[in-house]
Amino acid sequence: MIPSERAHLFTAAITHPGMTGKSNEDRYAISAYRLDNDGNTPSVFAIVADGVGGHKAGEVAAEIAVNTISHAIAVCDGSKPQETLEDAIVHAGEAIQIQSTKDETQHGMGSTCVCAWVIGKQLYTASVGDSRIYLLRDGNIHQTTVDHTWVQDALDHGIIRPEQARNHPRSHIIRRYLGSKNAVIPDFRLKLSAAENDDEAIANQGMQLLPGDQLLLCSDGLSDLVEDHEILDALADTELSEALSKLVEMANERGGHDNITILGLSVPTQDQSAEATVQLAKKPRPMLVPWMTCTVIVLLALAILLLGAASIWFVNRAESLPTPTATLNAAIPTVTFPLNPTDVFQTNTPIPSETPIQATLTAWPTNSPESQEMGGS
């Protein structure tokens, strides 16, 4: 794909280590591209990775995950998004596992990851672990990913009730993560309702995003402390980056026991697109009056000079001619008046093109290294 300086979606990102004094083991990136096949189809790729493992190994795993997967997206042509995501995530898991065997301090390290890839208007997602993606549409919020945790499995099998899940002692036991000895299996379920089965959720891959849709990717430092309806309220009628800051503050006020990373993607609405068009229509165009005025003045000056010269010639001719007789033998010389006006050049200043209203334009770099402990993300 071709790197792009501008994203076709509004984007924002924020990360915070939390309130416990632990290092930040979360990593993230947002990148904008255009597809190679036509150079016109826009693409935005977003990823959050939450590292696990002690001795700063978690941040190493998360860094490998973000860099490996982002690179795979950057060098592909975008024609097979789901296959590309699967290969990239599997490769990242292998890379983390290999690295963990080279350094005893990194042994057992791992990372979650959650990816959202928007190609044109189509959404593709993949997840491993308990980092999440939410879709906000028409005043509702949907958790589109499924947590790979002991608690989620217990909920699915009716072992515990939903109200027991949030503060359950096993809430941070992760069943699936990058870097495990077992080959990682990316989860492509994109759930839009609780009633959907797994096949229906997977079939949602490539769904069309609508104007006003918002995607929120986050590590569990947010989702453990902030309810879904609170996320919805925070993003309602609020500028995207401001809403993310508000969510981080909310999590920290409730203890901030883990690193908090949030990415936001928002599809421009028709009103926002119309606003850009109106601004373009109202943009002042280069003035044509000055050069037209100069041309008219030059022509008038030349006409006055010509009339003056003609008047002088007629007066001089009348004084020099003899009294006319019946026969006029003197030939009247032909008089010509060379005209050498200054050339007038018109400069046409092009009308500046309107820059579309957009947010983050450059790929977000992964945040600076820091760390947390194994046993959960």
For 180-196, the pLDDT digits (tens) are 988 899 999 999 998 99
Name the CATH topology of 2-271.
Answer: Phosphatase 2c; domain 1 (3.60.40)
pLDDT band at 27 (very low <50, low <70, confident <90, very high): very high
Instruction: Tell me if residue 122 falls in helix, strand or coil.
Output: strand
The residues, any chain, with a CB within 8 Å of residue 105's CB and separated by 6 or more, are: 55, 56, 57
Strand ranges in 41-121 using DSSP code E only, listed in sequence order: 42-52, 110-111, 113-119
Burial bucket for residue 231 (CB in 10 Å: 0-12, 13-18, 19+): buried
Q: What is the pLDDT of residue 37?
A: 67
Average per-residue pLDDT for the chain: 79
Q: What is the pLDDT of residue 167?
A: 73
Judge contact between 127 and 187, C-beta under 8 A: yes
Judge contact between 224 and 166, C-beta under 8 A: yes
For 274-295, the pLDDT digits (tens) are 333 333 333 333 333 344 444 5
pLDDT at residue 38 is higher than 80: no
